[in-house]
Chain A
Amino acid sequence: MIRFYIEGIGLCGPGLNGWEASRPVLAGTGDYAPAPINVPASMLLPANERRRAPQIVKIALAIGAEAFAMARRDAAGTAVVFASSGGDGDTIHEILHVLASPDRALSPTRFHNSVHNAAAGYWSIATQSRAASTSLCCYDDSFAAGLLETAVQTAAAREAAALIAYDVRYPAPLCDARPLAAAFGVALVLAPVPTAASIACIELELRPGTLPPPAMGLPELEWLRRGTPAARSLPLLAALARREETCISLGYLDDMVLMLNMTPLAASPDSHEA
C-alpha cells in the first residue's frame, strides 16, 4: 500500500473548465453545460511558442500550471509523470500524410513535436525545471499507469511528484482505428506527507483481478469516461469534489485493479484559495 496526499488538481475537458469551476458538476450539485474544450492560454510559454504549440502541449501546460498553483508548489523542483494513451495524433497524422506523399519532406519542428515526451520537453522549458520527468503510455489504462508511477515516485523519493495525463482526438483516417470521445486532461500534485495544501489522503493498493468500473451519474460525463482514457480519472475527481470518504476502483490492464481509499482532509480547498 502506498499513501499519498493530493495537493493540487488541474482539469480541462469539454464543459470542464478548470477544477474549481467544475467541482459542482463533478459533485453532482451543479448543471453540466456541454461545450467544446476550451484550453486556457498558458502564460508559461512565450507568445510565439504559445501560438505554435500543439493542442496536446497547451492542455498539458494549462492543467499542470493549474495544479501547481493550487498546491502552491514550485514546479521547477518537482518531478512530473506525463501519461497519454497515444500522444499527439494531429502531429502524427501530418507526418504520416507527408510520408505517404511523393516528396516525403518532413518539417523538423513537426518531427521533434511528434515524440511522446513533447509535452514534457515544453513543460521543462516553460517552468525551467531540471527535475526528472517521465512520459508513459498504457493505451486505455494510461491514467491508472501514470497514477501508479506517480504514487511510486512519491514513495520512493519521499518527495512530491505530479501526474499530467491528457489525450487528444485523432484526426481522420486514424480516428477510425482509434476513436476517442474528446480531448481531456487532468493533473494531480501528490505529496508523500500531508501539508497545508493537502485536500485528501489516498491509500493506493494494486490488486489482481477485475471489478466493474465506477460509472459517472451524468450521461455526458459517463460518455467522456468511457471514450477518453484520461477521463477514466473522472470517478476519482468526482469523489474529490464530493469530499466523501470512499473507495474507488480503477481498472489497470485486463487483470489488475488500483484500489484508491480516499479520505478528504479537514483543510478544505477554500481555505487556501486567496
Chain B
Amino acid sequence: MSGEQPLGLGKSPLMLSDFSIVTSLGAGREQTMAALREGRSGLVRCGFDAIPFKTYAGEIAGLDEDSLPDELAGFDCRNNRLAALALRQDGFLDTLAAARARYGAQRIGVFAGTSTSGILQTERAYRQRDPLSGKLPAGFDYARTHNTYSLARFVRDMLGLCGPAFTVSTACAATSKVFANAARMIATGICDAAVIGGADTLCATTLFGFHALDVMADEPCRPFDPGRRGISLGEAAGFVLLERAGERLDAETVLLLGTGESSDAYHMSSPHPEGVGARLAMERALGDAGLEAGEIDYINLHGTATLVGDAAEDCAVAGLFGTGVPCSSTKGFTGHTLGASGVAEAIICALAIRHGFVPGSPHTRGVDPAFRSRYVLSGHDARIDRVVSNSFGFGGVNCSLVLGRAT
C-alpha cells in the first residue's frame, strides 16, 4: 500500500466556528446552557398523536403553528420547520452569510443527518388515503418532506449554498457521523467549509416503533440508574459551521479534534453486550486526535437508559478510560433525540467546554452498582479541555467525537 499517511484531524483540527441548537430545553445556546445549569429537564408527559400508552418526551412547543418562508413552502413539514428554527438561532445565519462571502457558495458543503426526516407527513397522508382508490392526497410532496435527502436539500436552499451535499441516515449516529464526513471532504479539498448537523422530530413511526421494541419508559428516562426502564424520545435540531482552524482562535473556540466510526457486527437493534463496537469507535476517535484516554476530561455518553445499552457503554467506557473520567448522559434533559442526538450532544459538549461546566443527569437517582465508570449525577463547574461524545444506533453503528478547547 501507499506509504502516505491518512489525513487525520490530529495535525489539522477543524473549528466549530459557530453553532445553533434547539431542544426541549429551549431555543438557542443561552436557554440550553441555563437549563443544563439549573438541572431542568425538558421531558414532559407525551400527548403527541394521541398515543395510547404512557411515556414522556422532550417535545418542542410551537412547531404546529410555525411555517416556512414562501420560497421554501414546498419543504413544509415538522422536521424542516425545526431545522429552520435552529438555523435562525444564535446568529447562525449571519455567520453563514459571512462564510459564504469568504469562501463562495460552491465551496461550502452541507452534510445533514436525520433518522426519520419528514415521515410524519406521509403518516398523515396515509390516514387521508382515498377510500376507493387508496391514493394519497393531492399536494403530498414526497421528495421535499418524507425523503431522507429533504433535510440536506432544505438546509442547502435556505442557506443559499451550492456545494456538495447529502443526508446521512445511520439511525441514532447520523449527526455524529456528519462531523466525519465534513472532516474528510475538507481534508481532501472537496470543500473549504461545511454546515453539518440535522434534525429529528416526533412521529408515530418512532413512538410506536420503540414501544413495540419494549424499550420505552413510562416515566422520564433515568440513564445509568439501577431502576432505569428505557428511553424517552425527544426532538432536536442543531447545526455547526466547520472550517479549518485558522488564526482566529481564542478561549471561546472549540475544535473538532477527532472522529471514530465502527460497526458492532452483532445485532440489528441490540448493542454488543460488552460494548466492543462502542470501544472501537472511542479508540479510533482518540487515535484520530492523537490523544491518550488520560487526556479526556469529560465523556458525554450515548446513555439512552435501556438496560443493555447503558451496561454495554459502561463496560466500554470503564474498559478504555478506567473509573476516573467524569461522564454523563444528557438524555434525561432532552430525551433521546435519535438522529439529532449526535450534533445536539456535541453542542452541549462545546458549551460545557466554553462555560467550564460538567452537565449532570436529571431523573437519575443513583448509579447502577454494577457499573464502574464515574457517572456524574449533579452538574458542577469544572474546567474541561477535551471531551468525548458518543452516539450509537440501530444496525450496530457507532460514532465517537473528540472536541477540545483551542487555547
Answer yes or no: A112 CB below 8 A from chain B CBs. yes
Q: How far is the CA of A159 from the CA of B181 in the complex (A)?
A: 16
Q: How far is the CA of A250 from the CA of B267 in the complex (A)?
A: 36
Q: How far is the CA of A111 from the CA of B395 in the complex (A)?
A: 12
- Contact between chains at A155 and B188 (CB < 8 Å): yes
Answer yes or no: A107 CB below 8 A from chain B CBs. yes
Q: Given contacts A95-B205, A130-B265, A255-B162, are A120 and B169 in contact (CB under 8 A)?
A: no
Q: How far is the CA of A137 from the CA of B116 in the complex (A)?
A: 12
Answer yes or no: A116 CB below 8 A from chain B CBs. yes
Q: Which residues of chain B come closer than 8 Å to A158, judged between CB atoms?
A: 1-2, 4-7
The residue among A106, A118, A159, A255 with the most chain B CB atoms within 10 A of its own CB is A106
Q: How far is the CA of A153 from the CA of B181 in the complex (A)?
A: 9
Answer yes or no: A148 CB below 8 A from chain B CBs. yes
Q: Given contacts A125-B268, A129-B263, are A117 and B170 in contact (CB under 8 A)?
A: yes
Answer yes or no: A224 CB below 8 A from chain B CBs. no
Answer yes or no: A233 CB below 8 A from chain B CBs. no
Binary CB contact string for chain A from 116 to 146 against chain B (1 if under 8 A, 0 otherwise): 1110111011011111111111110010010
Q: Which of A21-29, A31-39, A170-178 contacts B (4 or more CB under 8 A)?
A: A170-178
Answer yes or no: B33 CB below 8 A from chain A CBs. no
In the complex, residue of chain A having the shortest beta-carbon distance to the beta carbon of B261: A132
- Contact between chains at B6 and A125 (CB < 8 Å): no
Q: Which residues of chain B come closer than 8 Å to A85, judged between CB atoms?
A: 147, 149
CB distance from B288 to the nearest CB of A (A): 10
Q: Given contacts A99-B126, A117-B397, A125-B396, are A130 and B263 in contact (CB under 8 A)?
A: yes
Q: Which residues of chain A come closer than 8 Å to B35, judged between CB atoms?
A: none
In the complex, residue of chain B having the shortest beta-carbon distance to the beta carbon of A104: B208
Q: Given contacts A129-B265, A155-B188, A255-B162, are A112 and B6 in contact (CB under 8 A)?
A: no
Q: Given contacts A96-B123, A134-B181, are A105 and B395 in contact (CB under 8 A)?
A: no
Other-chain contact of B265, A124, A148, A177 (Cβ < 8 Å): A124
Other-chain contact of B169, A135, A148, A177 (Cβ < 8 Å): A135
- Contact between chains at B213 and A108 (CB < 8 Å): yes
- Contact between chains at A253 and B396 (CB < 8 Å): no
Other-chain contact of B269, A97, A108, A122, A172 (Cβ < 8 Å): A108
Q: Which residues of chain B come closer than 8 Å to A247, judged between CB atoms?
A: none
Q: Given contacts A130-B277, A193-B1, A208-B106, are A117 and B122 in contact (CB under 8 A)?
A: no
Q: Which residues of chain B come closer than 8 Å to A111, judged between CB atoms?
A: 205, 208-210, 212-213
Answer yes or no: B371 CB below 8 A from chain A CBs. no
CB distance from A229 to the nearest CB of B (A): 10
Q: Which residues of chain A come closer than 8 Å to B180, judged between CB atoms?
A: 132, 134
- Contact between chains at A156 and B6 (CB < 8 Å): yes
CB distance from A197 to the nearest CB of B (A): 13
Binary CB contact string for chain B from 180 to 215 against chain A (1 if under 8 A, 0 otherwise): 110111011010000000000000110011111110
- Contact between chains at A173 and B129 (CB < 8 Å): yes
Q: Which residues of chain B come closer than 8 Å to A255, judged between CB atoms?
A: 106, 162
Chain A, range 73-107, C-beta contacts under 8 Å to B: 79, 85-87, 92, 95-97, 99-100, 104-107
Instruction: Give residues in A with beta carbon < 8 Å to B.
Output: 2, 79, 85-87, 92, 95-97, 99-100, 104-108, 111-118, 120-122, 124-125, 127-139, 142, 145, 148-149, 152-153, 155-159, 172-174, 176-178, 192-193, 206, 208, 252-253, 255-256
**What are the nearest 3 A-B pairs in CB distance?**
A121-B395, A116-B169, A111-B209
Pull 21 A–B residue pairs with CB atoms less than 8 Å apart, ordered by A: A2-B188, A87-B148, A92-B122, A95-B205, A96-B122, A96-B205, A108-B212, A112-B213, A116-B148, A117-B395, A121-B268, A130-B264, A133-B170, A137-B166, A138-B149, A149-B184, A155-B184, A158-B5, A176-B135, A206-B164, A256-B106
